[in-house]
Amino acid sequence: MTLTTVLCPLDFSVASAPLVRYATTLAAATGAELRLLHVLEAQPELPVAGLSRPLDLDIALQLANYRLEAEQEGVAVTTAIVQGEAATEIVAEAQRHPADLILIGAHGRTGLTRFLMGSTAEAVVRTAPCATLLVKTCQADEYRQSA
């Protein structure tokens, strides 16, 4: 399989930085374009004391920082911010900007939490028009050693 475009959706959780590093390494090794995506989901309006600039500007700045990080490794990077339900918009983006691979972080929720909150990664895997790679980001010492 030849990779030309890797789509990497980000939610800006603590798992995002390691996910971008993983995606950057993969894109650099294959010569693929890296497309970083953030989905703005509907949120209840909450007054935030001390917010000095709009939240969407913060999101754009975070995406720009991740883009710069990947470009410094020689990777061609594009970014997008869309609105809607995360899983639906990730799959739609993979169709709008044809992706060969969606590289998505898995938070590892199970049981009741997953049932109540749903799983964006699971929905993407089930409905994606291309291959998907779930990356469970954890500390290096948390990965299992193979025997």
Work out the angle at residue 40's Cα, subtended by the Cα atoms of residues 39 and 45, and round it to the nearest 5 degrees: 165
Q: What is the pLDDT of residues 57-111, one digit of tens each?
A: 888 899 999 999 999 999 999 999 999 999 999 999 999 999 999 999 886 555 5
Neighbours of 28 (CB within 10 A): 15
State if pTM tops 0.75.
yes
Q: What is the pLDDT of residues 34-44, one digit of tens each?
A: 999 999 887 65
Asked if 87 and 124 touch (Cβ cutoff 8 Å), the reply is: yes
